[in-house]
Chain A
């Protein structure tokens, strides 16, 4: 009899195992980013898993270069991540949406009150046809990182006008710095940060929007003028004698080592910089690039870094939404993001009170906030325009720096690619979702 009871208990235990395994949801999350830049998502997953016994979140990271080429075949095969970060704006997710690969998040938006967190402007960039496709999670910005010690040693003040900026560059060149502003243009994409900022300065937020959502063209005068100015700065040696020969990683190593006094980049470098410099991180600061022409204003470069999408065929949509809520709407998640230098969208009062943001992150956001009233422009045009335009822009920006293409030719190539993408249906119409 004992043997029968024992055997029955064993069988019951064996049968129970798969049941409990099925009850456990596993949410696979794919994040694009370089090593060291996305560790906050590991921490968030660990904290979430500790609080949610029924769900296990696994974060998989892949370098930015290889992320999309790995993601798209996976999604097309009905596999891949349950939750993933991907580009937004009018030019990036149109094909994913049209292909039915991403889930409609409109119900979740209303059910979880995301409207209190996600500003309408960001909803507009992540929606189409009245449906929300992505949770626009974090705000990114860019600014001029500089070495305070070098500035101090050479009697240089932070510039507040373009004339002062020219003096800064000139003094640094005279002091023997052959690269006053590091660019890392061998990797192509860092130049697009300059492009986005300068297009914004010359065209303003309305000018950019008129192209993205209206009848404006990349060949309009402000974009040509911005491209010509960038080329002129390159010719004058602002970015060093050979900016397209130096990679971004090598440039940042030289910047943190004090060999390059300035570089225009974003808060994602702060984690790596703190690791590289330790206590010396206090020697670095951030300022807003002054207006380039007399009539210009400083338009802060603000973009949502990316949006978070849920795979349409995922069996763990609800668990994925729970994790999204934990990351971006719970105070715990928002504080963790802020501590890592990442600024989540929406009101920050509660989270900021608890957060200990890196000083450089505070500096860059202060530089941005000081000019917020002027209206902001996208920080990364390359993440909101189609891949075909990005290829043309990247090559064209290198061509400008090598002085083998004119600003007019560059603008014309961009416009041709933009028109072709529009004709191919790769550009989404302005978004927004109706209130319920």
Chain B
């Protein structure tokens, strides 16, 4: 019969053994590629020739003087900002409302979550079609008397980034709603009862009970949304390829152009590392702010 080892060493070793398969997979498919990208970023590799010459910080110096990188950097921040506002802000509101709805809740929930399972390329195709000048969006605007708002969404330098961010949010907000709903179910009903006894209206209950109780969940949704929005590629590439001109160029599409299309893998890798650093800094900053507020 199997006897559980009780020595201290065995007890320390057990968790490691259990984690080893997952860690191995993580190391092979996540850590090693990340390490490779960092390594390539210090080379002039073109992705074709076998030789890679070490160029030190040359690719990183180039980032600072590359105006397209900074355009893409700015666009990525706007893009992520819009998506965070929608997915975290609106996602929370939708979840809070859904938590109070009993009739047809499952149906509404399904409708909101359904786009999450649609392939990003299909999402891109759907929205590309809807955003055509004679597409559904403009037709609806015309029909409801808001024709003045109709615009060539994918061809407008002013609108394209926001239009694509909205399309991306449509396909991802369902996940935020589900996480918030799960968090809401864990909030003690007694807290709402106490708030009502104290004379709080529904908005005040949301402000002083729901929001503080959901702080850890909000952090998870925020970080998930942030990382997802920074690494988005497919919907932008399949709709505009960063255009018109570069008005929807984000860091991931710019990295792809430089690395894969122009065979500048070294420089493309440097853009990738910059993206990694930016997301890491933003995540750490947010976590620290959260921790400080919690204390």
Contacts and interface: CB of A to CB of B under 8 A. Distances in A.
Interface of A: 65, 68-69, 72-73, 75-76, 95-96, 98-101, 185-188, 241-247, 250, 386-388, 390-391, 394-395, 398-399, 402, 404
A176 to B, nearest CB: 14
B48 A72 contact: yes
The DSSP consensus for interface residues of chain A is: helix
B interface, over-half SS: loop
B246 interface: yes
A131 B262 CA distance: 25
Contacts of B133: 241-242, 245-246
Most chain A CB within a 10 A radius of its CB, from B50, B132, B153, B154: B132
B155 A242 contact: yes
A95 B263 contact: yes
A101 B48 contact: yes
Nearest to B254: A391
A69 B48 contact: no
A186 B154 contact: yes
Contacts of A386: 262
Given A95-B48, A391-B257, A402 B244 contact: yes
Contact of B244 (A69, A391, A398): A398
A250 B48 CA distance: 35
Given A245-B133, A245-B155, A69 B245 contact: no
B256 interface: yes
Nearest to B241: A188
A96 B48 contact: yes
A73 to B, nearest CB: 7
Contacts of B264: 388
A250 B261 contact: no
Contact of B246 (A76, A96, A395): A395
Contacts of A75: 48
A395 B47 CA distance: 24
B295 interface: no
A331 to B, nearest CB: 37
Interface of B: 46-50, 128-129, 131-133, 152-157, 237, 239-241, 243-246, 256-257, 260-264
Nearest to B263: A95
B132 A246 contact: yes
Nearest to B49: A99
Given A399-B245, A404-B245, A391 B262 contact: yes
Given A246-B152, A391-B262, 10 more contacts: A75-B48, A95-B46, A95-B49, A96-B48, A98-B49, A244-B152, A244-B244, A245-B154, A245-B155, A402-B157
A294 B239 CA distance: 40
Nearest to B157: A402
Contacts of B262: 386-388, 391
A391 B257 CA distance: 8
A68 B261 contact: yes
Contacts of A246: 132-133, 152, 155
Given A69-B260, A388-B262, A245 B46 contact: no
A250 B47 contact: no
A76 B261 contact: no
Nearest to B153: A245
A99 B155 contact: no
B157 A387 contact: no
A350 B114 CA distance: 57
A250 B154 CA distance: 13
A76 B48 contact: yes
A247 B134 CA distance: 12
B47 A76 contact: yes
A95 B262 CA distance: 11
24 contacts: A69-B256, A73-B47, A76-B50, A95-B46, A95-B48, A95-B263, A96-B48, A186-B243, A188-B241, A241-B133, A244-B244, A245-B244, A246-B133, A247-B132, A247-B154, A387-B261, A388-B264, A390-B261, A391-B257, A391-B261, A391-B262, A395-B245, A402-B244, A404-B157
B47 A186 contact: no
A82 to B, nearest CB: 18
Given A95-B48, A186-B154, A242-B155, A69 B246 contact: no
Task: Tell which of B49, B153, B246 has the most Cβ of chain A within 10 Å.
Answer: B49
A245 B248 CA distance: 13
Question: Which of A101, A242, A246, A250 is most buried by chain B, counting CB atoms within 10 A of its CB?
Answer: A242
A244 B48 contact: no
Contacts of A99: 46, 48-50
Contacts of B50: 76, 99-100
Chain A to chain B: the 6 pairs with minimum beta-carbon distance, closest first: A245-B155, A245-B152, A242-B152, A69-B260, A99-B48, A387-B262
A235 B101 CA distance: 53
A323 B29 CA distance: 38
Contacts of A73: 47
Contacts of B155: 185-186, 242-246, 402
A75 B47 CA distance: 10
Contacts of B239: 186
B114 to A, nearest CB: 25
Nearest to A186: B154
Contacts of B261: 68-69, 387, 390-391
A187 B260 CA distance: 18
Contacts of A395: 243, 245-246
Contact of A186 (B49, B244, B256): B244
Nearest to A399: B245
A242 B129 CA distance: 15
Contacts of B237: 65
B81 to A, nearest CB: 24
Contact of B260 (A68, A96, A241, A244): A68
A245 B260 contact: no
Most buried by B among A186, A386, A394: A186
A68 B256 CA distance: 12
A394 B50 CA distance: 30
In the complex, which of the residues A241, A247, A404 has the most CB atoms of chain B within 10 Å of its own CB atom?
A: A247
B195 to A, nearest CB: 50
Most A C-beta atoms less than 10 A away, residue of B244, B260, B264: B244
A432 to B, nearest CB: 24
